[in-house]
Amino acid sequence: MKKYTPFILLALGVVLVVGVFAYTNSGGSSVTEPTPIADEVAPEIPFDQRPFVSLTPRTDGHWLKLTVMGVNKVTGAASVDYVLEYTTEAGLNQGVPGTVKLSGITTIDRDLLLGSESSGKFRYDEGVSKGMITLKFRDDKGKLLGKLATDFHFQGPDTELTSGDGMFTYKLDKAIKKGYFVTMMTFGVQEGVKGTINKGPYGVFSSETTKLPGKVTLEGSSIMRWGESKWNEVKNGVSPDLGIFVSLQ
């Protein structure tokens, strides 16, 4: 009997392998694919609750000042996460994140470095031209209430300033030799405009303080500019200076 034992064990092994193979191919396998982690669902923030957001470059071109006005308008928001993302000339993706508690706050101001700092020494990223600013509003339990995100276009001295989505253009009347500019959507406006917004709001923010008249290109029946604390119509696309622009239906 002992001399047949190896053959019996071999036969049992073959039967076991065949059985497992058949069970697996019949759909009976207990192995399951990993379930992907779903992104947070971000409810849409109504336009009348959206804060006004700007990125203003400093004269050295290495810093952007993030300003968020009206953070208290987002119903139930207790904190906001922000992240500035951009790509360097070398193709590296960089991010500048932060979180702000909103208790008693209506406006946020943060200076964001296009580079890095260590022990008081700064390294500046070169060739930055495009990026994205994202805001996530959360309640006091950390639940996501809404998300806002937009591209921004960062430019040095140039006569044609354009938004990241290509829908808005501001062409300066005269060429300039210095200065930095950011063109972006601002999510909300500082004060309501009469009429239904078709495109925008788009803002052009500069390191320069002098007036820079130019020609605006933005689809819509009429273009309005927020500047000097009021809305004025931009007739024939001619604007006396940079500002916040919308087109109306």
* Burial state string for 216-249 with b = 16 or more CB within 10 A and e = fewer than 16: bebebeebbbbbeeebeebeeeebeebbbbbbbe
| Cα–Cα dist 113/204, whole Å | 19
pLDDT at 43: 86
Give tens-digit pLDDT for 111-166: 999 999 999 999 999 999 999 999 999 999 999 999 999 999 999 999 999 999 99
pLDDT at 219: 95
| Cα–Cα dist 102/42, whole Å | 19
> Would you place residue 42 in the very low, low, confident or very high pLDDT band (cuts 50, 70, 90)?
confident
Nearest to 47 by CA among 81, 66, 70, 78: 70
Region 68-76: mean pLDDT is: 96
β-strand partners of 200: none
Give tens-digit pLDDT for 228-247: 999 999 999 999 999 999 99
pTM of the predicted structure, to 2 decimals: 0.83
Provide the token pair at 152.
């921004």
| Cα–Cα dist 248/200, whole Å | 9
Classify 83 in phi/psi space as left (phi over 0), alpha (psi -120 to 50) or beta: beta
What DSSP string runs through the chain?
-GGGHHHHHHHHHHHHHHHHHHHIIIII----PPPPPPPPP-PPPPGGGPPEEEEEE-TTSSEEEEEEE-GGGSTT--EEEEEEEEE-TTS-EEEEEEEEE-TT-SEEEEEEESEEEETTEEEEPPS--EEEEEEEEE-TT--EEEEEEEEEEEESS-SEEE-TTSSEEEEESS--SS--EEEEE-BS-SS--SS-EEEEEEEEEES--S---EEEEE-SSEEEEEETTEEEE-GGGEESS--EEEEE-
Nearest to 200 by CA among 219, 214, 175, 182: 219
Region 51-66: mean pLDDT is: 98
Domain map (residue ranges) of the chain: 47-248
- Whether residue 51 has pLDDT greater than 80: yes
pLDDT at 39: 56
Contact 83, 96 (CB under 8 A): yes
